[in-house]
Amino acid sequence: MKDVSYAKIIRVRLSQGNLVGWSKDAILEEMVSVKGLGSFGHNHIAMLLGKNDKISINSEVCRCMCLLVRSEKKLY
């Protein structure tokens, strides 16, 4: 069976230099076309590219945010 997972598709595109020189928005538009890569994964790729306008929320993000809020309260 042929491996066509979204991780492999992204890896192949990156390794071939297909996305070199592209803007962040163009890369993210290209990632939308990758079958199996949902909005959660798409938003995490955006975060890795430095675009933090859409942050995916999961239990780990919630835990980190709670820790940050608690540490800020100790400062005041």
Give residue 67's pLDDT band: very low, low, confident or very high (50, 70, 90).
Answer: confident
State the burial class of residue 46 (Cβ atoms within 10 Å of its Cβ: 0-12, 13-18, 19+). buried
Mean pLDDT of 37-54: 81
Give residue 64's pLDDT band: very low, low, confident or very high (50, 70, 90).
Answer: confident
**Residues 42 and 28 sit within 8 Å (Cβ to Cβ):** yes
In whole angstroms, give the CA distance from residue 55 to residue 49: 12
Q: What is the DSSP-derived secondary structure letter of residue 57?
A: -
In whole angstroms, give the CA distance from residue 57 to residue 74: 25
In whole angstroms, give the CA distance from residue 10 to residue 73: 41
| pLDDT at res. 1 | 46
The reported pTM is 0.54
